[in-house]
Structures are given as structure tokens and as C-alpha cells.
Amino acid sequence: MCGAVDHAAVGDRHFAMDPKRQVRREITIRPARFTDLAAIDAIQSASPEAVHWNPTDYLKHDCRVCDLNSCVAGFLVTREVAPGESEILNLAVDPAERRTGIARRLLADALAQAKGAWFLEVRASNEAAIRLYESAGFHRAGRRPQYYYEPAEDAIVMRFFS
């Protein structure tokens, strides 16, 4: 568990105060490393709404983590599917760190890295993620019936153009 964060800059080191503990927190968005895979797996396991892959597969794509004082608090996996078009494959944050802006920082960092069209699928029941994506400028573009399994559920397709 990394603790709560008040604010931070996207894409570089920044410091924020943890209001619960009144300690300074170092925040970095950076590429994932092999040594991060155990933390990524733990976050994924604690996130039933997230897609569950073998974490080593994430390193085949653009996987970035939010590092809080050397603790991985969240991760985002993307890939370029064609020139100028990228896909968000997975985004998850440690449950203890949710609603602190980590997902928003990871998302903003990815969108700043690759301009053009973006798309993603999200569980229809994952209202928090849908709100996050809509607040970042994504719009609903369709629905994929029974896209997810365990449990079976429709996916909402969302798109963004930068």
C-alpha cells in the first residue's frame, strides 16, 4: 500500500503531501520494469473489474506505472494498433490509492505520449472508469455484447481524438 496523494504533475517527478499522514510523497510516471511485475500482479488481483493478463505480457506493450516513493500504485498498458491509432488495454490502481488522481495521471501521460485516435473497451458496469474516460474526453462509440467473461458482461467501446 502506498498511501493517498493530494496532487502531482503528469509525466515527471513531483512531490505531494499525503493528507492522512502529513508526509511528502514522490510521484513518478515511468515505464514499467520487470521488477514491477509482482506489484502489477497484486494490483490486478485486487481489481476484479480490470482485465487479468499474465503481467509479463504487459512488457510486450507500452506499460507505464505510477511510482509513489518507490511503490507501484497503478499501471496503464497501451499499444499502437496502426500509425496514429492507439488502444488502452488495461488500467488499474491499487484499491488503497483509488480516487487520488493516479488513474487520471496515467491516462493523461499516455494521451500526451501518442497523439491521434485512441480507443478502449470497458466493462459496462465499471461506472467509475467510464466517468474517468468521459472526463478525459473519451466518448461512447458502441457496445460489444458479452465481450468479457468471468463474469460475462458487455463492453462499452470508447474513443478519443487528439
Catalytic residue chosen out of the listed positions 58, 97, 121, 148: 121
Q: What letter represents residue 35's amino acid?
A: T
Per residue in 5-30, pLDDT (tens digit) is 333 333 444 444 455 555 566 789 99
Which of 123, 61, 114 has the alpha carbon at shortest distance from 86? 114
Per residue in 102-137, pLDDT (tens digit) is 999 999 999 999 999 999 999 999 999 999 999 999
87 is catalytic: no
Q: Where are the domains of the chain?
A: 14-117
121 is catalytic: yes
Catalytic residue chosen out of the listed positions 49, 58, 80, 133: 133
Averaged over 142-156, what is the pLDDT? 94
Burial of 21 (0-12, 13-18, 19+ CB in 10 A): exposed
CATH architecture for segment(s) 14-117: 3-Layer(aba) Sandwich (3.40)
